[in-house]
Structure 1
Amino acid sequence: MTQHMFDEGLGRREANYVPLTPIDFLVRAAQVYGERLAIVHGDTRRNWRETYERARRLASALHEAGIGRGDTVAALLPNIPPMVEAHFGVPMAGAVLNTLNTRLDVPTLLFMLRHGEAKALIVDTEYGEFAHRAALEFPELRVISVADAQPADAAQFLRATDYEQFLQSGDPSYEWTPPADEWDAIALNYTSGTTGDPKGVVYHHRGAYLNALSNILEWDMPKHAVYLWTLPMFHCNGWCFPWTVAARAGVNVCLRKFDAKTVFELIRREHITHYCGAPIVQSSLANAPAEWREGITHRVSTMVAGAAPPPAVIAKMKQIGFDLTHVYGLTETYGPAAVCAKQQEWDALDEQISADLTARQGVRYHLQAAVAVLDADTLAPVPDDGETIGEIMFRGNICMKGYLKNERATEAAFKGGWFHTGDLGVRTADGYIRIRDRSKDIIISGGENISSIEVEDTLYRHPAVSVAAVVAMADPKWGEVPCAFIELKEGAQATEEEIIAHCRLFLAGFKLPKAVRFGELPKTSTGKIQKFELRARIKAEGKG
């Protein structure tokens, strides 16, 4: 490459180039707003100075335990203060944070520990069975127990160190080192894979930093916003909001378990200004008794992602004074990387039309380079006609590094210079994207991805099942739930209850079929099951 005058003597230096990292948001919050409230959890209230000190203690203790750059630290925690601290303390030690889904079964969680080569596990005492199995399976694993709601069962936490004791062994003035390269990994998140084992999605410091800032821009999120943790922090690192809240020196109001009445109490008492949630969370709040909302007079901003909530729910949220923003993304894009950016003229439209516009997946996040609907084969853009279907694809800094130990899947996902989501959609005349179907047959239930193939594989393990297929069925509470279609082996018998009980032996509760239909399945001449016919059957029942 030929140098020109704007290159000569104008290279990167320590004075003018520093790798981006969201850890710096915590540093600034502690320096500038150290005495302001940072964390609320029951009777616990900590400021930003204390939060920074605790994160440094965690980093120091991990370092003394021999954990450093490129090592994985797993965390199985509800939305409690140690989970916030882990988002800073773990990368301060140079390590990679792997937040685990608390709703998954033990074998799946053990696979993730093994695949991610976790050196330490920070685990809430509620999950003692998993902690015990993990300690047996991985003798070298450092187990750190968090006694938030209940003390540790000594029989299940034999070799564990109490989290608070672990922190006390660390240095509150620990001189941590920022990443030498913003491309360094900061987090590992596992997908609900459509085939085989879950894939490990790797985030870098740069992407986490930029998505955290984009969250602020999409919401016009003010300084010192009060954020309620209704969204699990294990899900795409809480859509990067642990880092977002620090960037605004806001308040993390922790919530161990979602409960609509408790949410309204916290909104009223703590003056919550922002929260995120899956459609089921929004529906629960929209349909809650009016008296639960009494005394809430301030504006509350909320984000929803996943399958769009019904327009009726969007309209109801507006009626109760909650300003809803619809976002879209995947684990591979750090959570949301597209937003249904509202236009002022929508306010003058019919309520149903306005809600329908708000339910679209939208346009790119501020700091994402592009989102498009392209022909999957040619990568040519589809027309902006709202009818021509293509694959939704992303490009930009808010895309993962790739899949851990899976170069083939990484190359396929980034083929042609775009991240292929596998979601099928259209582009409307105003340039907004709307999902039409999911090419991978993923079912989104309560904000959680369910692989139809994983459920089908479980059904095939039942001795009476000959052929099985699983498709999404509409559900007023969860948005979508799995519906199983089964052909029984000749002479075999089974009931719906028996099939669901069988699945319960192998699958997490939210993945269980909620309905089972028996009979011959429609197939092509080559024996391939025609799932579109099954969806049509459900639709004919009024449940599509």
Structure 2
Amino acid sequence: MYKLPEHLRPTPESLPPKDAILRLAVPEGLPVNITPLNPLVFLIRAAAIFPDKVALVHHDVPNPVTYNYAIWAQRIQNLAYALIEAGIKPGDRVAVIAPNWYADAHHGILAARAVITPINIRLTKGEVDYILNHSGAKFVLVDHEFAHLVQGTSIPTIISEDSGKPDDPYEQFLASGRKFSQENGWLGLAPEKNENAVAALCYTSGTTGRPKGVATTLRGSYLAALANAFETSLNRESVYLWQGWTFPWANTFAMATQVTLRTVSYPHIWKHLLHSGISHYCGAPTVQISIAAAPEARRLAKPVKAIIAGSAPTAALIGELENRNIKAIHVYANQTYGPFTRNYERPHWSSLDIQERSKLMSRQGHGFATSDEARVVVQTDGKEISDVPMDGLTVGEIVVRGNIVMKEYFNDPEATKTAFRGGYFHSGDLAVRHSDGSVAIIDRSKDLIISGGENVSSLAVEQALAAHPDVLEASVVARSHPKWGERPMAFIILRIEAIEKWADRHHHFAADLKQFARNHLPGFALPEWIKVVPELPKTSTGKILKHALRKEVAKL
């Protein structure tokens, strides 16, 4: 467990006053038995109970910082007051463009009763301009490395140099907030009375058009945080590693320590896995593959929980993670507050071999704590939906409703109406339901390949190809075929040790992979084309951008 190093001195404005009152004001007019749900309270509670416990560690930078809960809570309070002084009103959107998104922002923006609007650092300036305009952002917090993305904007902007030093513009902004507060503290910040007010506005990747703003509420964020902590066994002894996906409110609810990184750096990830007491982290299968295959990888002395989403982990990946004492927890999310299903491992699975166990572990499972059941349905008459039988064969669409489904698509009533038709959120993910009630995704509806009238799951093909000993990563999309309409095309990244083996012989590798796949796939699902590539296009969180691959295929 981290101890606060003596040489890492926070700015004077980050030090809380003696006997600070760690309590928000009570909104007027509320019954005594009701407090609106708001995930901000988790941080305040942690600072009140364990003020000296290390909350945030940010060391892999030229100017490392470490904050305990008391100091971090004061900094977040300062941020809230600074935003209010800057003219931010309740409901205003505050955009954040930073690596790993600032931990401060998820709390300070809420404390100012504003809406955090995180923007993907991998987007183009044109895409960022669109989101800033569509969201109506009134303020921008941006890391110095990505300041070019807001160049020319008329929106007030604070650039952080990520130094923690008093002359950093971000630190000066926090200092101005402390001064503006006149030491009124948390009691001077009126909490949002409406728990269904929007807390966050996150934009989709825009794979099928302009990105849509997914609006989520304070209430949903609170309940999702509880579920994330419970389902992954986060507690005050936990040390969580940020590397793209994060649990900003689940960690403060659990009073855990968070270790942040500026980028997904595998040497840094392994340094922390080996030496920083990491107990939890999240990541897409593509990120997990690179973690397991990194030169620094070895078996860990203590088990670590890896929360995996984005697609199902393969048998090969699960085996490699287990060899390194990393326990996979497979969850599923789609326009929700993170996961809303989890694959719950059964006691008898431990007696199964890795291939059989991985088939079961790759399912999306059952509804999360605080989430309703994920249904798999078909439309029977154009309006009514009915559940598919629990036969593991009948394909339907996953639909869900309840506490941790998004509130709406921001300023897009038509898209919201379409997504919520029939009183459920329609995910677009095709799935079956097995006899034990667990849900298993077959494919995204847009990724399904129809070859000669047969439905081919790109996920199933990827799973089969990933079992080849020389394959590090596989992604499969449809390619036009004169006879069959469509056939699968596979893009393959080779393992490091296999690159030299197949150098200048990629056509031989393709033949070898096809022969291997024949033992695992029906003939109509075999990839017609195989291309070895050095990398795959991915989002900032490691999810493969299949629309980019489809664009490449369309040119062939």
**TM-score relative to the length of structure 2:** 0.74
**1:411: how far off?**
1.2
* Structure 1 partner of 2:535: none
Q: Is residue 286 of structure 2 the alignment partner of residue 280 of structure 1? A: yes
SS in 1 for 2:339: strand
Distance (whole Å) between structure 2 residues aligned to residue 281 and residue 481 of structure 1: 18
For residues 81-120 of structure 1, the C-alpha deviation after alignment (integer angstroms, 9 at most, x for no partner) is: xx10100000110100000111111111110000000111
Would you say 1:110 and 2:112 are equivalent positions?
Answer: no
Instruction: Please point out which of 157, 169, 185 is paired with 2:176.
Output: 169
Determine what percentage of the aligned residue pairs are the same residue: 38
Look up the SS of the partner of 1:127 in the other structure. helix
Q: Aligned with 2:527: secondary structure?
A: helix
Determine the C-alpha separation between the residues in 2 that align with 1:344 and 1:486.
Answer: 46
The AA in structure 2 aligned to 1:84 is A
Note the C-alpha offset of 1:69: 0.6
User: Structure 2 vs 1, CA of residues 401 and 482 (structure 1 numbering), >3 Å: closer, same or farther?
Assistant: same
Q: What residue is the counterpart of 1:123 in the other structure? A: 142
Aligned partner of 1:244 in structure 2 is 250
Map 1:314-463 to 2 at 5 A: 314-330=318-334, 332-376=335-379, 377=382, 378-441=384-447
Amino acid at match of 1:143: T
Alignment partner, residue 197 of structure 2: 184
SS in 1 for 2:103: helix
Partner of residue 162, structure 2: 148
Once residues 366 and 87 of structure 2 are traced to their aligned partners in structure 1, the CA distance between those partners, rounded to angstroms, is 44
Letter in 2 for 1:262: H
Q: Give the Å deviation of 1:285.
A: 1.8
The answer on 1:39 being equivalent to 2:56 is: yes
Q: Following the alignment from structure 1 to structure 2, what is the Cα–Cα distance between the partners of residues 100 and 149? A: 21
Counterpart secondary structure, 1:391: strand
Partner of residue 480, structure 1: 475
Q: Whole-Å Cα distance in 2 between the matches of residues 437 and 79 of structure 1? A: 28
- Once residues 43 and 390 of structure 2 are traced to their aligned partners in structure 1, the CA distance between those partners, rounded to angstroms, is 42
Displacement of 1:287 in angstroms is 2.0
Q: In 1, distance between residues paired with 2:472 and 2:95? A: 31
- Seen in structure 2, the aligned counterparts of structure 1 residues 79 and 146 have a Cα distance that, compared at 3 Å, is same
Match of 1:254 in 2: 260
1:50 aligns with 2:54: no
Match in the other structure for 1:447: none
Deviation at 1:44, TM superposition (A): 1.1
Tell whether 2:547 aligns with 1:541: no
Distance change (3 Å), C-alpha of 1:149 and 1:45: closer
Counterpart secondary structure, 1:399? coil
Letter in 1 for 2:413: E
Superimposed CA distance per residue, residues 153-187 of structure 1 (whole angstroms, 9 cap, x where no aligned partner) = xxxxxxx9911110010126252121111100000
Q: Is the contact between residue 447 and residue 477 of structure 2 (CA under 8 Å) also seen in structure 1? A: no
Residue 59 of structure 1 corresponds to which residue in structure 2? 80
Distance 1:94 1:485 in 2: 50
Cα distance in 1 between the residues matched to 2:304 and 2:525: 40
Is residue 79–residue 229 contact of structure 1 (8 Å, CA) maintained in 2?
yes
1:380 deviates by 0.3
| Residue equivalent to 1:293 | 298
Distance, in Å, in 2 between the alignment partners of 1:359 and 1:266 is 27
State the secondary structure of the residue aligned to 1:16.
coil
- Per-residue deviation at 1:478? 5.4
How much does 1:477 deviate? 5.0
CA distance in 2, matches of 1:538, 1:52: 55
In 1, Cα distance between the equivalents of 2:407 and 2:37? Answer: 15
Q: Choose 472-481 or 68-77, whichever is displaced more.
A: 472-481
**Does residue 96 of structure 2 align to residue 75 of structure 1?**
yes
Give the Cα–Cα distance (whole angstroms) in 1 for the partners of residues 123 and 478 of structure 2.
20
- Cα-Cα RMSD: 2.7
Alpha-carbon distance in 2 for matches of 1:430, 1:394: 19
Residue of 212, 222, 226 corresponding to 1:209: 222
> 1:124, 1:148 within 8 Å by CA — same for their partners in 2?
yes
TM-aligned CA distance change 1:178 to 1:440, over 3 Å: farther
Q: Structure 1 residues 478 and 94, CA, compared in 2 at 3 Å: closer, same or farther?
A: farther
Shift of 1:26: 0.6
Asked whether the 8 Å contact 1:426–1:433 carries over to 2, the reply is yes
What does the per-residue CA deviation read over 1:293-327, in whole Å, with 9 as the maximum and x for residues that have no partner? 36x31111110001112111112211221111000
2:225–2:250 contact (8 Å) kept in structure 1 = yes
Corresponding position of 2:308: 304
Q: CA deviation at 1:441?
A: 3.6
Q: Aligned-pair distance for 1:485?
A: 5.9
Q: Which amino acid aligns with 2:408?
A: G
CA–CA separation in structure 1 for the residues paired with 2:395 and 2:477: 24
Q: Distance in 2 between matches of 1:252 and 1:486?
A: 50
1:221 to 215, 224, 234: 234
- Offset of residue 486 of structure 1: 11
* Residues 129 and 150 in structure 2, CA contact (< 8 A), matched pair in contact too: no
Mapped to 2, the partners of 1:302 and 1:432 lie a distance apart of 21
Contact 1:194 1:442 (8 Å CA) reproduced: no
Contact in 1 for aligned 2:65/2:164 (Cα 8 Å): no
Contact kept? 1:375, 1:382, Cα under 8 Å: yes
- Whether contact under 8 Å (2:321, 2:328) holds in the other structure is yes
For 2:336 and 2:472, the matched residues in 1 are separated by 26
1:193 maps to which residue? 206
Distance 1:442 1:215, change over 3 A: farther
Offset of residue 484 of structure 1: 6.7
Q: How many residue pairs were aligned?
A: 435
Cα shift at 1:442: 9.2
4+ residue runs of structure 1 moved beyond 4 angstroms? 471-479, 481-487, 535-538
Point out where structure 2 has 5 or more consecutive residues left out of the alignment: 1-28, 450-457, 483-522, 532-545, 547-556
Q: Distance in 2 between matches of 1:33 and 1:249?
A: 8
The correspondence for 2:103, drawn from 73, 84, 87, is: 84
Cα gap change, 1:73 to 1:539, in 2 (>3 Å): same
Quote the Cα distance in structure 2 between the aligned partners of 1:285 and 1:381. Answer: 39
Answering whether residue 39 of structure 2 is matched by residue 22 of structure 1, we say yes
- How does the TM-score come out when normalised to structure 1? 0.75
Q: Secondary structure at the match of 1:14?
A: coil
SS at 2:138 equivalent: strand
Which residue type is aligned with residue 139 of structure 2?
Answer: A
Partners in 2 of 1:63 and 1:150 — Cα distance? 22
- Rounded to whole Å, the distance in 1 between the matches of 2:73 and 2:219 is 21
Query: Could you tell which deviates more after superposition, 223-232 or 98-107?
Result: 223-232
Asked if the contact 1:275/1:302 (under 8 Å) is kept, the reply is yes
5+ residue gaps in structure 1? 1-11, 152-159, 233-237, 444-470, 488-534
Once the 2 structures are TM-superposed, how far is the Cα of residue 14 of structure 1 from its aligned partner? Answer: 3.0
> Equivalent of 2:113, from 86, 94, 115?
94
Q: Match for 2:162: what amino acid?
A: D
